[in-house]
A = this chain, B = another copy of it.
Amino acid sequence: MANPDKAKRGIPPKEDFNAWYPAIVEIADLVDKRYPIKGMDVWRPYGWKAMRCIDNLTHQEMERTDHEEVRFPLLIPEDLLEKENRLVTLLKRAREEGVDPSELRMDEDEAGFKKEVYWVRNAGENDLDVPMFLRPTSETAMYTMFPLWVRTHADLPLKTYQIVNTFRYETKQTRSFIRVREIHFFEAHTAHVDEECATRQIEEDLEIVSRLMAMMKLPFIMSKRPVWDTFPGAWYTIGIDVIMPNGRTLQVASVHHYRDQWAQAFDLKYADENGKHQYCHQTTYGMSERLLGAVVGLHGDDNGLIFPPLIAPIQVVIMPVAAHKNPLVNETVESVSQILRESGFRIKIDNRDLRPGQKYWDWEIKGVPLRLEIGPRDVENGNAFAARRTGGKEPIPLDDITNQVRIQLDIVENELSNRSSEHLDGCVIRLMNLDTDIQEGHIYEVAFDGTDADAEVLEKTTGLVILGDSITPYDNEQPCIISGKMTTRLQHLARMY
């Protein structure tokens, strides 16, 4: 049925994802893009609440795994960057020369790489003695302090995290949550006695990511990035990519194993049980507001957002209907909302003086998973009328409202889970040979065990990018798409955001 109100709100069809996405983030009141700096949106209350719900899940996971929350300064003095620069240059050389980094000595003179950072060189009317930059991420700031905190093996593992604003001077086109210049960022940084303990941390990180993705119902792939896509200073990087509706992948999280490379650069050592000084092995784990971008992009439809219940700013909106006809209506709405609030649900009563249809569309746009209507007849029958954002309506008994609401939200969760799995399964296609026509909207799975030159051929021929080695390889050996050599290495090719 054509809906004039909806049309007026100007939601483009989701099929046209590149028009739908930037429109819906504003129409649903998540952000306001009219702030006069490109790529720096204002978070409106509804968007910020959604982000805080996601952050709360992260906090819970961090507490469960004994990470401690810290807060480092935003500003980093330029001179601290020198250590990092030397490290990165060294690793680059090692890669180019095909040798182990430990065989190279750091050269004090090697110039650092240019960072896309914002510089602070003046304050008030003064020039600062040492220029500072806004953190793009906090390795440098943190690893300057870690050596002051770690003395012996008893201080390890050191597991810290923070959720902060970070900055990147993006020159590409910006997109709310997906490519912004002030980034709401989660970063965990850990230090361990040896490589093996650090590897166990990586495993824990991947478990945490998987749990969070399941809570948010996001379809994802985990890939060990190719060498050329490894984070500077890392031994290896695992990228966590969500598959967006248009089949492009969006890296929402990454995990890095640093071995002792950063520890050497920052002189982070501990005394082992024999009193011998050893370098720590380190890891980091990062996630950003892209998680919200993925949630928006994945679950929404032509009518607006759909929030998975666990991160919905409002889980249930309750609407009195024809309240003037029976005073019990408002009373019931109040008591139901109180019962649900006490059970921990996030509830909103909508008693605005508007036509019901208009209210429906508002909450539809905002993606509230469950709507409860309570009118005179419902009160008489002891029911509320439940409508799920993912489709389906039915009366539910008021005298068991807490359980009933939980059941309804579970149905929404399951529906979103199913859609997510279907999207993943439908998107990923096996690429058997290079003659295949590459289709828009798909991700290709290949058996690939070639050289860097082979990889270049693969990327050029397909016009896609190698995400890297899937962390779940083939059970049985398959012929490599380039060399034909048998391998269990399963890799994905995609268009990336």
Name A's B-contacting residues (CB within 8 A).
Answer: 32, 34-37, 40-45, 48-49, 52, 68-75, 77, 80, 114-126, 132, 134, 141, 144-145, 148-149, 160, 165, 167, 169, 171, 182, 184
Residue pairs across A and B with Cβ atoms less than 8 A apart, 5 shown, are: A36-B144, A48-B71, A74-B74, A116-B124, A124-B171
Q: When A32-B148, A169-B123 are in contact, do A77 and B42 touch as well, CB less than 8 Å? A: no
Q: When A116-B124, A160-B45 are in contact, do A145 and B34 touch as well, CB less than 8 Å? A: yes
Max chain B CB contacts within 10 Å: which of A72, A115, A144? A72
Alpha-carbon distance A114/B74, docked complex (angstroms): 23
Question: Do the beta carbons of A119 and B114 come within 8 Å of each other?
Answer: no
Alpha-carbon distance A13/B52, docked complex (angstroms): 42
Question: Do the beta carbons of A182 and B73 come within 8 Å of each other?
Answer: yes
Contacts of A116 in B (CB 8 A): 123-124
Question: Do the beta carbons of B124 and A40 come within 8 Å of each other?
Answer: no
Contacts of A68 in B (CB 8 A): 45
* Partner of A74 from B49, B145, B149, B165 at Cβ < 8 Å: B165
Question: Do the beta carbons of A119 and B115 come within 8 Å of each other?
Answer: no
Q: When A32-B145, A34-B148, A80-B36 are in contact, do A73 and B42 touch as well, CB less than 8 Å? A: yes
How far does the Cβ of A478 sit from chain B's closest Cβ, in whole Å?
A: 43
Question: Do the beta carbons of B122 and A42 come within 8 Å of each other?
Answer: no
Contacts of A32 in B (CB 8 A): 145, 148-149
How far does the Cβ of A257 sit from chain B's closest Cβ, in whole Å?
A: 24
Please give me the residue from chain B that is nearest to A77 by CB atom: B36
Contacts of A141 in B (CB 8 A): 35
Contacts of A118 in B (CB 8 A): 75, 120, 122-123
* Partner of A40 from B45, B48, B75, B117 at Cβ < 8 Å: B75
Question: Do the beta carbons of A48 and B70 come within 8 Å of each other?
Answer: yes
How far does the Cβ of A167 sit from chain B's closest Cβ, in whole Å?
A: 8
Please give me the residue from chain B that is nearest to A40 by CB atom: B73
Please give me the residue from chain B that is nearest to A122 by CB atom: B119
* Partner of A75 from B41, B75, B182 at Cβ < 8 Å: B182
Q: Please list the 4 inter-chain residue pairs (A to B) with the smallest Cβ-Cβ separation, ordered nearest first.
A: A123-B169, A45-B68, A43-B71, A40-B73
Q: When A118-B123, A123-B118, A169-B123 are in contact, do A48 and B73 touch as well, CB less than 8 Å? A: no
Given contacts A32-B148, A52-B69, could you give 8 more A-B pairs where the C-beta distance is less than 8 Å? A32-B145, A32-B149, A35-B73, A48-B71, A74-B182, A114-B125, A118-B123, A121-B121
Question: Do the beta carbons of B114 and A134 come within 8 Å of each other?
Answer: no
How far does the Cβ of A169 sit from chain B's closest Cβ, in whole Å?
A: 4
Q: When A119-B120, A165-B165 are in contact, do A42 and B125 touch as well, CB less than 8 Å? A: no
Question: Do the beta carbons of B35 and A144 come within 8 Å of each other?
Answer: yes
* Partner of A37 from B69, B132, B169, B182 at Cβ < 8 Å: B132
Please give me the residue from chain B that is nearest to A31 by CB atom: B71
Question: Do the beta carbons of B117 and A123 come within 8 Å of each other?
Answer: yes
Max chain B CB contacts within 10 Å: which of A124, A134, A165? A124
* Partner of A69 from B42, B49, B72, B169 at Cβ < 8 Å: B49
Alpha-carbon distance A359/B68, docked complex (angstroms): 21
Alpha-carbon distance A72/B44, docked complex (angstroms): 9
How far does the Cβ of A76 sit from chain B's closest Cβ, in whole Å?
A: 8
Please give me the residue from chain B that is nearest to A73 by CB atom: B40
Question: Do the beta carbons of A45 and B73 come within 8 Å of each other?
Answer: no
Alpha-carbon distance A71/B45, docked complex (angstroms): 8
Contacts of A184 in B (CB 8 A): 71
Contacts of A122 in B (CB 8 A): 118-119, 121
How far does the Cβ of A153 sit from chain B's closest Cβ, in whole Å?
A: 15
Alpha-carbon distance A49/B124, docked complex (angstroms): 32
Contacts of A72 in B (CB 8 A): 35, 42-43
Question: Do the beta carbons of B117 and A134 come within 8 Å of each other?
Answer: no
Question: Do the beta carbons of A120 and B120 come within 8 Å of each other?
Answer: yes
Alpha-carbon distance A160/B32, docked complex (angstroms): 15
